[in-house]
Amino acid sequence: MAAPEQYDAIVIGGGHNGLVNAAYLAKAGLKTVVLERRHLVGGAAITEELVPGFNFTTFSYALSLVRPDIVQDLDLVRHGMMVLPLTSTFQPGYNGDFLHLGADSWANYHEIARHSPADAEASRELGHIVSRVARALKPWFDRIPPNCVSSDPVEVAAMAELHAYMDGLDPEVRDMLQRFSDCSAAEILDDYFEHDLVKAMYATSGIIGSRAGPRSKESGLVWLFHKMGDYDGVPGQWGFHKGGNGGFTQVLARAVEAFGGTIRTNAGVAGVLYDGGRAAGVELEDGGAMHADVVVSALDPRQTFMRMVDPDDLPGDLVGHIRDFKFQGTASKVNFALSELPRFPGLEGRADVFRGFTNIAPSIDYLEEAFADCREGRFSRRPFLDCCVQSTLDPDMAPPGKHVMSCFAMYTPYQLADSDWETERDNLGNTVQQTLEDFFPGFGDSVIHREVVTPLDIEKVVGLSEGNIFAGELFASQLFCNRPAPGWNQYRTPIDGYYQCGSGTHPGGCVMGGPGMLAAQQILGDRQPA
Amino acid sequence: MPRTTPFHDQVEPLNQTGVWKHWSGYLVAPQYQYSLTSEYYAIRNAAAVLDTSPLFKYRFTGSGARPLLERVLARDVGACAVGRAQYTCWCDERGYVLQDGVVVHVSEKEYLLTAAEPALRYFRNEARRLGLTDVEVEDVSDAFGILAIQGPHAHAVLEQLTDVATPLRYFGVARGIVAGCDVVVSRTGYTGDLGYELWIRSEDAGRVWDALMVAGVGHNLTPIGTTALKMARVEAGLLLMGADFHNARFAWVDEERETPSELGWGWMFRKLDDDGRDFIGRSAIEAEVRDRTSRWNTVGLAVDWHDYERVYSEAGVLAPHHEVYSESTMSIYRRSDTPWEYAGYASSFLTSSLLRRPVAIAKLPLDLTTPGSEVDLEVSVIRQPKTVLSRVERLPFFDPPRKTALMTGSEG
């Protein structure tokens, strides 16, 4: 057998954070390799041609939070980054009612005013204060968070700086941030709105990907998290990468290689090699090994600490935190190839309606009932769906005149009480399809192909524990200083030279790249001579 | 699709330019004719009619209407008797201006209010906070259209249609009937000229419009767009939300917020020492006056014609005088030994055809706001920054006696 290959840095996992991390390390001159278990990089951000001519965003399907620094630092535009605006939010209600918001703020005012003038006014105010809160938090999104349990003077000073910053915020901004931390989305929405369809539209951001209903306390922060991004500087707006999010990770892969990094696919890692508390490389699933002083796990915290290394070699408190770290995936994807656009009665043929998010969430109660099923250990009989007919934006996603539709479906608990996901796969597909049929009569007849991706599939295929799309819930107990564990939130691990950069580290999930970027800063900083 | 005003069917065929724009989500004409100046002179020379229906309109009814407005509006609405209208503003608790508008006291328990931006929820929340039960706040934006008839012949046009306009003093209000339709007529406007505004039920819009057109034939009654109106309002010294100030509710920082005093509306609070009014923002406004913490004032700025000519002439080009109306910030500097010493900015600029000189609405530090104070206004001359001598001048720049004069009926 040949001698193990020698690198400066090995990144385990070719998800978007692994790629971002590797690109930064390679740019800094480190001989870097990304090891991806599957045949393609991208992790949960991939696009696959499952039916000839039909490109599916199998898992992740929209962009907003990509850190702007990364775009510049890694020269992503040169490598093909192109994000199209998701200008529409379509929210069907009951009995033919709907909300359809677009790119014009006054047109949106009148659309909401059609349901409630007071809500239309409140919507402007809420939008502004949410943007202000998001802007206030941004500096802390884009830096390595302090270690809140350390007595190191540097960390103590950083915590003091954080507290001083929060104290210095405009009281209105600080109070609203507090409400997001303390309250459910529904409680906040009750302060602003009277119309249920309007509330439900906003509430969807508070439950996406989380085991939380709109009346669960955690939904406030989840909502804020999804408003932390922007589209071309417009706060809280989302976009669609040309070719889907797989198109975006291909851009990142090109950046890695342009900086001299190496990408290996079909290269599953069995474990990290370490000796005397120092990382030495990795052992591959095929039995081979690679050596490097820096090993970075872009996997989720459970994989990083419980599988890649022996937890017995780690401090007990860290292992305890990782054991308690909540994954509890509750979301699935059902993707469709369609022979024609869905038809909403009264809006037939309106492609613009689908150039953004179509939310099947007609009321707060609907969402709560969907969540009640989840708590009972079954998937929602009337699920919340977040859909996008991406071929209305990007004609290369489907053959001319045909369409692909991505449907994010909740709630679908990873742990089913009385069944298993292999049994329930088609039942879930049928339930989602029937729900769409209810709002878009004739939908079923237009289905050419259907792909059902359960939380178990997400875990098996992508490697995200329990299928949690964020690599761990976005709850306060698992964010910032606590992500993934207090004291271990700065991308280092107890093993020298072994780092973490997945979405289970700060700033967290969604296609963002922040963890990959900040971990690279830490790694490169640690290599500087003291 | 943009919404249309109740007058759209009438005005749509009159727009010779084919250009439309959005005003709060409604389709309106920025100008009807290719010659903006002709439209502008309809205001100063004959009579102009303008559709201002996109304004947000609220109706307050019940015995709680007055207490609510007294609490919310910064100017003393108690001084606005039945049959009167009042230019007013409302502020947040910190004394920053949210909006301005005109309140109309229609009858004992009924007020109407115009606003540039939505405020229904704001007023309703305040009513709830005050525990006022007998007050209904309605959004009547869609129920009414508003037409402004402005210019020296405005009265001559209107008196053919109703008797109630003639006795109206400046800011007087009356109910009347025009073309068989109930209307509210106020002697108000945004032009600083003789003029009236008509609140017309949306379903009556076409009939009233048609009657106006017939009455206006002998008076060159001209439909005008929003640009000519905005030009006239600079001469009248009237501020435009979105240009000269912004709703404090949507500011990010206090530098973007302004107090009534900073907007030149200190006159609204002359009797503050004597009245015990408890309105939102009062304590902040009192403190501002007491401690003299105003950061600037909003003033008229008359640009020196000779100096304006000079900077262009020296560059070998003609000075632009025709139809220059701008809402872009223009920097203002102190005239001192230190070059380019920043002082403030102009928020609206107009080369006034009638006044034969450029004028502006400007924000200046308090030591420069005395009428006659000299400053330098930055203009761009062939893409080079130049400064032009300008002088602070009392607003309005144009204030014809007819604006407030008593009218007499042509037959009486």
**Residue A121 Cα, gap to closest chain B Cα (Å):** 6
- For A128, the closest chain B residue by CA position comes to B250
pLDDT tens string for chain B (412 positions)?
899 999 999 999 999 999 999 999 999 999 999 999 999 999 999 999 999 999 999 999 999 999 999 999 999 999 999 999 999 999 999 999 999 999 999 999 999 999 999 999 999 999 999 999 999 999 999 999 999 999 999 999 999 999 999 999 999 999 999 999 999 999 999 999 999 999 999 999 999 999 999 999 999 999 999 999 999 999 999 999 999 999 999 999 999 999 999 999 999 999 898 888 999 999 999 999 999 999 999 999 999 999 999 999 999 999 999 999 999 999 999 999 999 999 999 999 999 999 999 999 999 999 999 999 999 999 999 999 999 999 999 999 999 999 999 998 764 4
pLDDT of residue B338: 94
- For B120, the closest chain A residue by CA position comes to A118
Average pLDDT estimate for A495-504: 98
Q: Of A117, A128, A135, which has the smallest distance from its Cβ to B139's Cβ? A: A117
Say if residue A125 is exposed, middle or buried (CB neighbours under 10 Å; 0-12, 13-18, 19+).
Answer: middle
H/E element, A248: helix A245-258
**Residue A132 Cα, gap to closest chain B Cα (Å):** 7
Distances (CA, A) of A274 to A118, A277, A281, A494, A495: 62, 6, 7, 11, 8
Q: How many CB atoms lie within 10 A of CB B391?
A: 14
CATH architecture of the domain B297-393 equals Beta Barrel (2.40)
Q: Which tokens in the block code for residue A83?
A: 């994000």
pLDDT of residue A530: 67
Phi, psi of A472 (to 5 degrees): 125, 140
**Inter-chain CB proximity A121 and B122 less than 8 Å:** yes
**Residue A112 Cα, gap to closest chain B Cα (Å):** 12
**What are the residue boundaries of the structural domains of chain B, listed by start?**
8-55+142-224, 297-393
Looking at this protein, which amino acid is placed at residue B94?
Answer: R
**Inter-chain CB proximity B118 and A110 less than 8 Å:** no
Does residue A256 come out as left (phi exceeding 0), alpha (psi in the -120 to 50 range) or beta? Answer: alpha
Phi, psi of B23 (to 5 degrees): -125, 110
Give the single-character DSSP code of A479: S
**Residue A114 Cα, gap to closest chain B Cα (Å):** 11
- For B252, the closest chain A residue by CA position comes to A132
**Inter-chain CB proximity A132 and B252 less than 8 Å:** yes
Quick check: B5 and B209 in contact, CB under 8 A?
no
**For residues A116 and A113, what is the distance between their CA atoms, to the nearest angstrom?**
4
Q: What is the CATH number of domain B8-55+142-224?
A: 3.30.1360.120
Phi, psi of A45 (to 5 degrees): -110, 75
Tell the residue number behind the tokens 């306390």, with chain if given: A217
Q: How confident is the model at residue A360 (pLDDT cuts 50, 70, 90)?
A: very high
CA A511, A385, A38, A337 torsion-angle sign: negative
**Residue B326 Cα, gap to closest chain A Cα (Å):** 23
**For residues A299 and A308, what is the distance between their CA atoms, to the nearest angstrom?**
9
- For A104, the closest chain B residue by CA position comes to B25
Q: Of B2, B118, B253, which has the smallest distance from its Cβ to A121's Cβ? A: B118
**Inter-chain CB proximity A128 and B249 less than 8 Å:** yes
Looking at this protein, which amino acid is placed at residue A415?
Answer: Q
Those residues of chain B whose CB sits closer than 8 Å to some CB in chain A are: 1-3, 22, 24-25, 118-122, 124, 139, 141, 249-250, 252-253
Q: Of A118, A128, A135, which has the smallest distance from its Cβ to B124's Cβ? A: A118
- For B119, the closest chain A residue by CA position comes to A121
**Residues in B touching A104 (Cβ below 8 Å):** 22, 25
- For B24, the closest chain A residue by CA position comes to A106
Share of chain A above pLDDT 70, in %: 99
ipTM: 0.92
**For residues B294 and A413, what is the distance between their CA atoms, to the nearest angstrom?**
59
pLDDT of residue A1: 57
pLDDT of residue A529: 78
Q: In 3D, which of A520, A16, A480 has the Cα closest to residue A228?
A: A480
**Residues in B touching A106 (Cβ below 8 Å):** 22, 24-25
**For residues A182 and A188, what is the distance between their CA atoms, to the nearest angstrom?**
10
Q: Which tokens in the block code for residue B14?
A: 């009159």
pLDDT of residue B412: 41
Q: How confident is the model at residue A528 (pLDDT cuts 50, 70, 90)?
A: confident
Quick check: A75 and A255 in contact, CB under 8 A?
yes
Average pLDDT, chain A: 96
Average pLDDT estimate for A232-259: 96
**Residues in B touching A125 (Cβ below 8 Å):** 249-250
**For residues A240 and A88, what is the distance between their CA atoms, to the nearest angstrom?**
12
Q: What is the CATH number of domain A328-462?
A: 3.90.660
Distances (CA, A) of B308 to B314, B320, B377: 10, 9, 10
Quick check: B52 and B233 in contact, CB under 8 A?
no
Q: Which of B4, B121, B125, B142 to mutate to test the interface with A (most CBs of A within 10 A)?
A: B121
End-to-end CA distance of chain B: 49
Q: How many CB atoms lie within 10 A of CB A267?
A: 20
Q: In 3D, which of A183, A191, A233, A253 has the Cα closest to residue A212?
A: A183
**Inter-chain CB proximity A118 and B120 less than 8 Å:** yes
Give the single-character DSSP code of A305: I
Q: How many CB atoms lie within 10 A of CB A48?
A: 17
Query: DSSP of A356-396, one letter per residue?
Result: EEEEE---HHHHHHHHHHHHTTS--SS-EEEEEEGGGT-GG
**Inter-chain CB proximity A124 and B118 less than 8 Å:** yes
Q: Which tokens in the block code for residue A157?
A: 């000073």
**For residues A441 and A312, what is the distance between their CA atoms, to the nearest angstrom?**
56
H/E element, A436: helix A421-439
**For residues B49 and B158, what is the distance between their CA atoms, to the nearest angstrom?**
11
CA A388, A390, A393, A399 torsion-angle sign: negative
**Residues in A touching B140 (Cβ below 8 Å):** none
Size of interface A-B (CB pairs under 8 A): 39
| B8-55+142-224 against B297-393: fold identical | no
**Inter-chain CB proximity A118 and B249 less than 8 Å:** no
Query: What are the helix (H) ranges across A153-218?
Result: 153-167, 171-182, 185-192, 196-203
**Residues in B touching A170 (Cβ below 8 Å):** 253
- For A193, the closest chain B residue by CA position comes to B121
pLDDT of residue B275: 87
Quick check: B59 and B112 in contact, CB under 8 A?
yes
**What are the residue boundaries of the structural domains of chain A, listed by start?**
5-43+67-78+242-326+470-527, 87-237, 328-462
Q: In 3D, which of B226, B223, B150 has the Cα closest to residue B186?
A: B150
Tell the residue number behind the tokens 């790249």, with chain if given: A513
Tell the residue number behind the tokens 């303390």, with chain if given: A182
Q: Of A107, A113, A119, which has the smallest distance from its Cβ to B2's Cβ? A: A107
| Beta-ladder partners of A334 | A407, A452
Q: What is the 3-state secondary structure (H, E, C) of chain B?
A: CCECCCCHHHHHHHCCCCCCEEECCEEECCCCCCCHHHHHHHHHHCEEEEECCCCEEEEEECCCHHHHHHHHECCCHHHCCCCEEEEEEEECCCCCEEEEEEEEEEECCEEEEEECCCCHHHHHHHHHHHCCCCCEEEECCCCEEEEEEECCCHHHHHCCCCCCCCCCCCCEEEEEEECCEEEEEECCCCCCCCEEEEEEEHHHHHHHHHHHHHHHHHHCEEECCHHHHHHHHHHCCCCCECCCECCHHHCCCHHHCCCCCCCCCHHHHCCCCCCCCCCCCHHHHHHHHHHCCCCCEEEEEEECHHHHHHHHHHCCCCCCCCCCEECCCEEEEECCCCCCCEEEEEEEEEEECCCCEEEEEEEECHHHCCCCCEEEEEEEECCEEEEEEEEEECCCCCCCHHHCCCCCCCCC
**Residues in B touching A110 (Cβ below 8 Å):** 3, 25
**Residues in B touching A122 (Cβ below 8 Å):** 121
**Inter-chain CB proximity A124 and B25 less than 8 Å:** no
B302-345 pLDDT, tens digit each:
999 999 999 999 999 999 999 999 999 999 999 999 999 999 99
A160-210 pLDDT, tens digit each:
999 999 999 999 999 999 999 999 999 999 999 999 999 999 999 999 999
Q: What is the CATH number of domain A5-43+67-78+242-326+470-527?
A: 3.50.50.60
| Beta-ladder partners of A33 | A10, A262
A325-354 pLDDT, tens digit each:
999 999 999 999 999 999 999 999 899 999
Quick check: B250 and B96 in contact, CB under 8 A?
no
Looking at this protein, which amino acid is placed at residue B268?
Answer: M
- For A109, the closest chain B residue by CA position comes to B25
A376-429 pLDDT, tens digit each:
999 999 999 999 999 999 999 999 999 999 999 999 999 999 999 999 999 999
**For residues A441 and A522, what is the distance between their CA atoms, to the nearest angstrom?**
53
Quick one: how far is CA A114 from the chain centroid? Answer: 33
- For A173, the closest chain B residue by CA position comes to B252
Q: How many CA atoms lie within 13 A of A493 on its CB side?
A: 32
**Inter-chain CB proximity B121 and A132 less than 8 Å:** no
Quick check: B197 and B52 in contact, CB under 8 A?
yes
**Residue A124 Cα, gap to closest chain B Cα (Å):** 8
What is the arrangement of strands in the sheet containing A88-92, beginning at the earlier edge strand? A98-101, A88-92, A356-360, A384-389, A403-410, A331-338, A447-453
Residues in chain A, how many?
A: 530
